Every structure is written in structure tokens, then in C-alpha cells.
């Protein structure tokens, strides 16, 4: 039996602003909840290649595990949780900018 | 203070012009990220977790008021109103946007500053004691030596492609405040029978394989400095390991080949190199020294100081912890703590930077320093002016009386900012400081250095903390490993691992138990944590950390 594939999203930093972005079906979003959840390995690899080709907009695209047990994708690892939220010492970054 | 030569100014302006063009070409798509990344890193621009980060060099940690004002201007205009001073004597801006960075670099150029990281496998920016030129215990100002080494090594043809980077630090005092034993080469200016020379240490470093530097020469004549350094670097350049990045630093070469053999090879090489130095470097050294002349110290009564010291307990507490003896009569060195309890170690707001710049302008001969312990120093202050300075600092949250105490913590940015991090460091520092402030214990505890890194790269110097904390990722959870007995001074030592790590929730209580064990075991109040540890060894501290032996057995 092949190992079940952990759902993933494609994430990167925005070239100009440097902040964290997530690939959606038709572009990019600053919110993880909007991201396209990838459950098939071959498709995920393809989406990553497509993302990495957009060098004029994004930097350092990679696949990050997500937790979909409550519907919308949520970070599976604490590093991704910080990327999705911002630093813990100041209310800077996404935790204030997205509201 | 050292001022740019025309050559330096033209070099920086040209670099900025080139970088502006490179940013434009990256934005219009003619450069890929793979092409652009090395270019931006050369100019101090990193991409972190949430944003770009610009790292600005502060050579020897020395700044004028005008430069500090400009750092405030950058913080306000292009960042979120603050900057982060680091252990490497530089300042980092955590939120610039790519398009703005060339303007930031130009603004820095206006005050003779830059973000050029002299990166790559070259001889890096030379660091020096932050009390240079001021400390009472100083034999000579180390900054001219640092500047001489910098100029000699910059663009030196033999050393552009070495096995790895190479870092040099210089101190002019017996008390080592420049962590020279954790550098590839450490230099200490010494005096013997009225003659100046250098004690040369080699092979120190932190990171993945921490090592304490060893004395390769105990009294190198002043005029032999550059040929000797050239010989050390050249020997390592030939035999240093290029096969493995983690084994390439000179510390590994010294460890594998042995100090005596390295010394023999260096002396052999020195015999060939020395005749090539004709003494021009010594003439030049004299002109560099002239650039670091001491200010004109004034003489006046210290009456206002004595009065405030007697009348105001808050001032007294601050004076007792934050002042260091100055070599000029009536003067003190002021350490301004950037470690208010609960604040981010090393951060200063634009307003705070301006306040410190104004104080330096008004009372401090226009000079400021950044220490590797992430504090700001006013190196030359007359004691008569201290009450006024203290009052101003207090108004702006800068009068925390905790230098060298448990809340004067070094912490790297960790996972709150750094893309390489395996765990956070800042919140741990904040919690420890807040906790011990609540307990009102820190003055009773006395000198205690806690240093925290968010990964094995050791930017937070955890190996040389009396208590070192290393944040790791253990199966997707933050985990903090404690080391004890580290020391960054002239009695340098690498801390010993205490045992299994602690979760983010358990780490602060663990530190508290360590401190309780210290208070219980110290023979008297004047015995510091480190002295107690050296006397008793690990056992009582280990028992305090792991009260149930079961926890130890389960490792
Ligand atoms: C946040 C962005 C940062 C990144 C990406 C970063 C990265 C690194 C890396 C990769 C190393 C290891 C280099 C090597 O051994 O070859 C290193 C070393 C070091 N970093 Fe950082 N660092 C960052 C921030 C800082 C800060 C904020 C400080 C000061 C608080 C700092 C101080 C140091 C020091 C002192 C070393 C040398 C440790 C040694 O002796 O080996 N770094 N850094
Ligand atoms: S020690 Fe690690 S986490 Fe901390 S700043 Fe350095 S590279 Fe980043």
C-alpha cells in the first residue's frame, strides 16, 4: 500500500513585499485559507513547478504540509503557523495586516 | 573617529548604484532569483520568514550621533519604526520592501554607512571591544588594529577564495569583551616592559562545532602583525579542508593537525613572508591611529553625581549596574540596556535611537557604540552629567538597571523572523526577564549571562552563556536544550549539555530551578553563578533540572 499523501499547499514569499503567499487555483493569496489544497502527489509536483516558474512574482516556492481535518487548510507544523500569522513579539505581519 | 577616505566613499557609491540596477533587473524579470540572491546577500539583503531583512554593518560597533539619527530615519521611513541590534555589531531592519532597499542604502551612504556584508569565503569585518578607547583596563585602543587588518585583508588577492570565511576580533584589554576566543583569530594587545605586542589566538568558533581559540603566539611584536596573520591564513589556506563545508573552518584544522604543528608551519611560512613587508604598513598604521584619537576630555566636579547617588536609590541601582570604569578622570562608560523586562532583546525604536543620539551629542563627545551583547554604549560620559542622562533615559524606557544580570539576555531572532530557525528564541527571553523581574531577585542573583539561539548556527552565542539555551525542533514541537558553564570572556569555556531538552512551557520553570539551586549552593553572595558551577560541577544543577530521576532515565 502506498503511504497516504499528506495534503499540501504551495507557498512562497512575494518578490516585492517579501511576505508569505499561498497558491490558489488561479493565482496567489496572502491567506492560507484560500490556498489550493493538493492531495495528489503528481499534481502537487506539477503545481510547484508552475509556481517556481513565476519568478517575476514569487521567491522560494515550496510544498508545505497542511492539516485539513477542520475543512480549510491549517498549518501542520509550527514553522508554517508562524509564517501564516507573523512574529510573536509584536503584532506585526499577517496577524494585523489581514484584518 | 575613522572617516571614509575618498576611495571608500566612491566604492560604496558605486556598489549602491550597481545594486539599484540589479534590483530593477530582478523586478523587470531579467534576473532570476538564482542570479539575484548572491547579489542581494552581498549587499546585506536577506529574505526571512515574513519579509526581507536588511543588515547594516556598524564597524567596531562605533557610531556618531548623526549616524544613529539616520538609523532612526531608516527605521521610521522604511521599517515599522524600530531596528534590531545584533551580536555581530550590526543593525537589522526586519520589514523593508525590495523596491525601497536601494533608497535605504543611499540614505546610509549619506552618513558613511553601508550594508556590504563582505560575504563569501573571505576575511570578514574585524570586530573589536565595544569599550575600545574608553576602558580603564585597556592597554591600547584595539580599533586601529582592526582597521589595519580590515584594509590589509580587503581585496587581498591570496585570500579571495579560502576554504571558508575567516573572522578576526581584537581587544586591547585583559578583560575580553570582544569574544576573541570564539573567532578564527583573536588578538589581544599586551604590554611587556613598556613594549606593545599581541597575544594571538587561533581556532575558536561557535556554530555546529564550538571550539575555544588557543594561544599560538604569546607576544608577537607589533611590526610582525600583518606578516604573521598572513602566514596563519596562508597555512590554513593550503591545508584547510575544502572537501566538507562543516570541517573547513580553521578551528577544525587546528583540532585535527594540532596546535604545535600549526605553529611550526606558521613560523616556517613567516620566515618567507616577513621580508616582503617593508614597513609601509607600519607608517600607514600610524596614520590610522591618528584617526582614533581620544576626544578632549573635560575636567569638572563630580558633585552632581555624588548627590544623585546618595539621594536617589533608582539612580544608584542604575549606576551600580550600568557603569564601567573609564580611563579618563571623572568619566564613566554608560551601558544603555536594550533589555527592558519583557521587551525584545536588542530592539530600539526610532524615538529611542534619537534620544540616545541626542544624549551622545550633548554629553558624550558625539560617540555611541553597539555591544555584541545587544546594548548601546555611551563610551565617554562625565560623571557630573549622569543624573541628567539617567533622567532622560528613564523617560524613554531606556533606564533598565540590568547590565550583566539575568535579564540582560542575548537572543537571536529565532523563528519569529529567521528562515533557518528550528525554534523561537525571543519569547523565551521575554518570559525569563519578566519572570525574574516579578520575583525581584535579579540583583540578588548577580552576574548571570543567559544566551539563546534558535538553531545550531549559534547566532545567540548559547555555547558561551553561563546558561545557554538552544531551540530545536523535536518531532514538530519546539524543544529547548540547556548548556551550563559557558563563558565568553578571557576564561572562555564551552557550556556542557545538562540533559534532555524542555518544552516551551517547561523551559522557564527549569531556568528558575537552576537559579534556585545556585542560590542554595553559593558560598556567599559574591560567588557568581559561574563560579559556583565551576566549584560544584554539574551535579546539583542537574538534580534541580531533573528532580525526578525517572525523567533522566527516560532520555
Ligand atoms: C535572521 C537572519 C540571520 C540568518 C539567516 C543568520 C544565519 C547565520 C548562519 C547560517 C550562520 C552560520 C555561519 C557559519 O558558521 O558558516 C550564522 C552565524 C552567526 N550569526 Fe547569524 N543569522 C541571522 C541573524 C543573526 C543575528 C540577528 C545575529 C545576532 C544577534 C547573528 C549573529 C551571528 C553570529 C555571531 C554568528 C557566528 C557564530 C560563530 O561563531 O560561528 N546572526 N548566522
Ligand atoms: S541561530 Fe539560527 S535561528 Fe538564530 S538567527 Fe542564527 S540562523 Fe537564525
- Is the alpha carbon torsion for B433, B437, B441, B445 positive or negative? positive
Residue B56 domain-assigned?
yes
Interchain pair B344, A89: CB under 8 A? yes
Q: Is B454 in the pocket of ligand 2 (CB under 6 A)?
A: yes
pLDDT per residue as tens digits for the range B133-155: 999 999 999 999 999 988 888 76
Same domain, B448 and B505: yes
Residue B3, by phi and psi: left (phi above 0), alpha (psi -120 to 50) or beta?
beta
Q: Assess if residue B124 is contained within a domain.
A: no
List, for residues B343-353, the tens digit of each pLDDT value: 999 999 999 99
User: Which pLDDT band holds residue B13 (cuts at 50, 70, 90)?
Assistant: confident
Residue among B43, B65, B175, B62 at smallest CA distance from B126: B62
For residue A15, give the chain B residue with the closest CA: B98
- List, run by run, the mean pLDDT of 10-residue segments along chain A (99 residues): 85 96 96 96 96 92 95 94 95 83
Residue A70: how many CB atoms within 10 A of its CB?
Answer: 7
Q: Which domain holds residue B244?
A: 134-290
- Which pLDDT band, with edges at 50, 70 and 90, does B552 fall under? very low
Which of B47, B271, B179, B32 lies closest to B493, judged by CA?
B179
Angle, in degrees to the nearest 10, between helices B426-439 and B504-521:
40
Domain boundary among B342, B368, B395: B395
pLDDT tens-place string over residues B35-49:
999 999 888 899 999
Q: Is B538 on the interface with A (CB under 8 A)?
A: no
Does B542 lie in the same domain as B425?
A: yes
B48 lines ligand 2 (CB under 6 A): no
The answer to whether B111 and B59 have CB atoms below 8 angstroms apart is no
Chain B residue with the nearest C-alpha to that of A17: B97
Give yes or no: residues B323 and B282 share one domain. no
Confidence (pLDDT) at B86 = 87
Q: Which of B361, B395, B429 is the last residue of a domain?
A: B395
Q: Let me know whether B57 and B162 are in one domain.
A: no
Ligand 2 pocket test, pick from B418, B426, B465, B478 with the greatest ligand atom count within 8 Å of Cβ, gives B418
Grid cell listed for B185:
583569530
Helix/strand/coil for B233: helix
In chain B, residues 7-46 whose CB comes closer than 8 Å to chain A: 26-29, 32-33
B426–chain A Cβ distance below 8 A for any pair:
yes
Residue in B with minimal Cα distance to A79: B415
Residue B272 within any structural domain of the chain: yes
Which of B51, B82, B423, B472 has the most A C-beta neighbours within 10 Å, making it the best mutation to test the interface with A? B51
Instruction: Determine which residue's CA is closest to atom 9 belonging to ligand 1.
Output: B457
Residues B159 and B89 grouped into a single domain: no
Q: Are residues B10 and B153 in the same domain?
A: no
Please state the ipTM of this predicted complex: 0.94
Contact residues, chain A to chain B, C-beta under 8 Å: 13, 15-20, 55-56, 59-60, 76-79, 82-83, 86-90, 92-94
Residue B415: CATH number of its domain: 3.30.413.10
Atom of ligand 2 minimally distant from the CA of B455: 2
Domain assignment present for residue B126? The answer is: no
pLDDT at B4 over 80: no
Tell me the CA–centroid distance for residue B21 and ligand 1, in Å: 28
Is B97 close to A89, i.e. CB distance below 8 A? no
Q: Is residue B318 part of a domain?
A: yes
Would the CB atoms of A88 and B95 count as touching at under 8 Å? no
Here the cell at position B60 is 567596531
Say if residue B185 is in the same domain as residue B244: yes
Beta-carbon contacts of residue B139 (< 8 Å; ≥ 6 apart):
B172, B173, B189, B190, B191, B196
B259 in contact with A at a CB cutoff of 8 Å? no
A55·B33 Cβ contact <8 A: yes
Question: Which B residues, 82 through 101, put their C-beta within 8 Å of a C-beta on chain A?
Answer: 95-99
Query: What integer pLDDT is reported at residue B549 of this predicted model?
Result: 60
Residue B244 confidence (pLDDT) above 90? no
Does B188 lie in the same domain as B149? yes
> Is residue B438 located within the same domain as residue B388?
no
- DSSP assignment of B44-70 equals TEEE-SSSEEEEEE-GGGEEEHHHHHH
Question: What is the phi/psi pair of residue B80, to 5°?
Answer: -95, 35
Tell me the CB-side half-sphere exposure of residue B342, using CA atoms within 13 A: 5
Flag whether B309 is in a domain: yes
The fraction of chain B above a pLDDT of 70, given in percent, is 96
Helix (H, G, I), strand (E, B) or coil at B543: helix
Distance from C-alpha of B370 to C-alpha of B131, rounded to nearest angstrom: 9
- Span B171-199, pLDDT tens digits: 999 999 999 999 999 999 999 999 999 99
**Total structural domains within chain B:** 4
Q: Which residue out of A13, A18, A19 would a mutagenesis test of the B interface target, given it has the greatest number of B Cβ atoms within 10 Å? A: A18
Mean per-residue pLDDT of chain B: 92
Boundary of a domain, candidates B350, B369, B395:
B395
Within 8 A of A78 by CB-CB distance, chain B residues are 415, 473, 476-478
Three-state SS annotation for B381-447: EEHHHHHHHHHHHHHCCCCCCCCCCCCCCEECCHHHCCCCCCCCCHHHHHHHHHHHHHHCCHHHHCC
Q: How far is CA A21 from CA A46, A85, B152, in A?
A: 18, 12, 45
Interchain pair A78, B50: CB under 8 A: no
Percent of chain B at pLDDT exceeding 90: 79
| Mutate which: B27, B33, B47, B454, vs A, most A CBs within 10 A | B33
Nearest to A58 by CA among A37, A79, A30: A30
The model's pTM? 0.93
User: Nearest chain B Cα to A18, which residue?
Assistant: B51
- Are B515 and B433 within one domain? yes
3-state secondary structure of A26: coil
Please indicate, yes or no, whether residues B63 and B144 belong to a single structural domain of this protein: no
pLDDT of residue A26: 93
Q: Distance between CA atoms of B489 and A14, rounded to whole angstroms?
A: 43
**Nearest CA owner, ligand 1 atom 10:** B457
Q: Does B344 touch chain A (CB under 8 A)?
A: yes
> Does any domain span residue B483?
yes
Number of Cβ atoms within 10 Å of the Cβ of B213: 24
Collect all residues of chain B within an 8 Å Cβ-Cβ radius of residue A22. none
Instruction: Say whether both B357 and B440 belong to one domain.
Output: no
Chain A residues inside the 8 Å CB shell of B80 = 90, 92
Tens digit of pLDDT for each residue in B446-465?
Answer: 999 999 999 999 999 999 99
Are B427 and A88 within 8 A, CB to CB?
Answer: yes
CATH number assigned to the domain comprising residue B390: 3.90.480.20
List, in order, residues 6 or more apart from B356 with CB less than 8 Å away: B68, B336, B348, B368, B376, B378, B398
Residue B118 located in a structural domain: no
User: What pLDDT, on the 0 to 100 scale, is given for residue B125?
Assistant: 73
Amino acid at each position: 500500500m502506498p503511504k497516504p499523501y499528506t495534503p499540501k499547499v504551495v507557498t512562497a514569499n512575494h518578490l516585492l513585499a517579501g511576505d508569505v503567499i499561498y497558491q490558489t487555483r488561479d493565482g496567489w493569496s496572502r491567506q492560507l485559507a484560500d490556498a489550493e489544497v493538493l492531495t495528489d502527489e503528481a499534481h502537487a509536483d506539477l503545481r510547484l513547478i508552475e509556481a517556481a516558474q513565476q519568478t517575476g512574482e514569487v521567491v522560494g516556492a515550496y510544498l508545505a504540509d497542511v492539516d485539513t481535518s477542520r475543512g480549510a487548510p491549517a498549518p501542520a507544523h509550527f514553522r508554517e503557523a508562524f509564517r501564516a500569522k507573523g512574529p510573536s513579539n509584536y503584532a506585526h505581519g499577517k496577524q494585523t495586516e489581514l484584518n | 573617529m575613522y572617516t571614509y577616505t575618498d576611495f571608500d566613499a566612491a566604492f560604496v557609491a558605486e556598489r549602491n548604484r550597481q545594486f539599484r540596477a540589479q534590483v530593477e533587473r530582478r523586478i523587470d524579470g531579467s534576473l532570476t532569483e538564482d542570479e539575484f540572491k548572491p547579489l542581494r546577500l552581498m549587499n546585506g539583503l536577506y529574505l526571512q520568514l515574513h519579509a526581507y531583512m536588511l543588515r547594516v554593518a556598524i564597524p567596531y560597533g562605533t557610531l556618531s550621533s548623526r549616524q544613529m539619527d539616520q538609523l532612526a530615519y531608516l527605521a521610521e521611513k522604511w521599517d515599522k519604526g524600530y531596528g534590531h541590534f545584533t551580536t555581530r555589531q550590526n543593525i537589522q531592519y526586519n520589514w523593508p520592501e525590495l523596491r525601497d532597499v536601494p533608497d535605504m542604502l543611499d540614505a546610509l551612504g549619506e552618513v558613511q554607512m553601508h550594508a556590504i556584508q563582505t560575504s563569501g569565503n573571505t576575511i570578514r569585518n574585524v570586530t573589536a571591544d565595544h569599550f575600545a578607547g574608553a576602558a580603564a583596563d585597556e592597554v591600547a585602543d584595539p580599533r586601529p588594529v582592526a582597521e589595519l587588518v580590515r584594509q590589509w585583508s580587503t581585496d587581498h588577492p591570496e585570500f579571495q577564495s579560502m576554504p571558508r570565511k575567516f573572522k578576526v576580533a581584537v581587544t586591547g584589554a585583559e578583560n575580553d569583551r570582544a569574544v576573541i576566543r570564539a573567532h578564527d583569530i583573536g588578538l589581544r594587545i599586551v604590554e611587556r616592559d613598556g613594549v606593545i605586542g599581541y597575544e594571538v589566538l587561533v581556532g575558536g568558533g561557535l556554530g555546529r562545532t564550538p571550539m575555544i581559540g588557543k594561544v599560538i603566539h604569546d607576544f608577537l611584536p607589533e611590526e610582525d602583525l600583518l606578516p604573521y596573520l598572513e602566514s596563519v591564513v596562508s597555512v590554513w589556506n593550503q591545508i584547510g579542508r575544502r572537501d566538507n563545508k562543516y570541517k573547513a573552518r580553521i578551528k577544525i584544522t587546528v583540532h585535527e593537525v594540532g596546535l604545535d604543528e600549526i605553529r611550526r608551519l606558521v613560523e616556517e611560512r613567516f620566515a618567507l613572508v616577513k621580508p616582503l613587508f617593508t614597513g609601509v604598513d607600519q607608517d600607514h598604521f600610524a596614520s590610522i591611529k591618528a584617526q582614533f584619537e581620544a576626544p578632549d576630555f573635560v575636567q569638572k566636579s563630580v558633585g552632581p553625581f555624588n548627590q544623585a547617588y546618595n539621594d536617589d536609590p533608582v539612580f544608584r541601582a542604575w549606576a551600580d549596574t550600568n557603569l564601567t570604569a573609564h580611563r579618563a578622570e571623572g568619566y564613566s562608560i554608560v551601558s544603555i540596556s536594550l533589555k527592558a523586562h519583557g521587551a525584545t532583546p536588542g530592539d530600539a525604536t526610532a524615538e529611542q535611537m534619537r534620544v540616545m543620539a541626542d544624549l551622545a551629542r550633548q554629553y558624550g563627545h558625539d560617540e555611541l557604540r553597539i555591544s555584541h551583547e545587544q546594548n548601546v554604549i555611551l563610551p565617554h560620559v562625565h560623571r557630573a552629567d549622569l543624573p541628567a542622562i539617567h533622567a532622560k533615559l528613564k523617560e524613554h524606557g531606556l533606564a533598565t538597571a540590568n547590565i550583566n544580570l539575568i535579564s540582560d539576555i542575548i537572543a537571536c531572532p529565532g523563528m519569529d523572523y529567521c528562515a533557518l530557525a528550528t525554534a523561537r528564541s525571543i519569547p523565551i527571553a521575554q518570559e525569563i526577564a519578566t519572570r525574574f523581574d516579578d520575583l525581584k531577585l535579579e540583583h540578588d542573583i548577580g552576574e548571570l549571562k543567559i544566551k539563546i539561539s534558535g538553531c545550531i548556527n549559534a547566532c545567540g552565542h548559547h555555547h558561551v552563556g553561563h546558561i545557554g539555551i538552544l531551540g530545536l525542533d523535536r518531532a514538530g514541537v519546539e524543544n529547548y536544550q540547556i548548556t551550563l558553564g559557558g563563558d565568553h570572556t578571557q576564561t572562555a569555556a564551552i557550556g556542557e549539555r545538562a540533559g534532555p531538552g524542555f518544552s516551551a512551557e517547561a523551559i522557564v520553570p527549569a531556568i528558575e530551578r537552576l537559579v534556585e539551586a545556585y542560590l542554595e549552593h553559593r558560598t556567599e553572595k559574591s560567588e557568581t553563578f559561574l563560579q559556583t558551577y565551576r566549584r560544584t560541577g554539574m551535579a546539583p544543577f542537574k538534580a534541580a533540572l531533573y528532580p525526578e530521576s525517572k525523567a533522566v532515565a527516560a532520555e
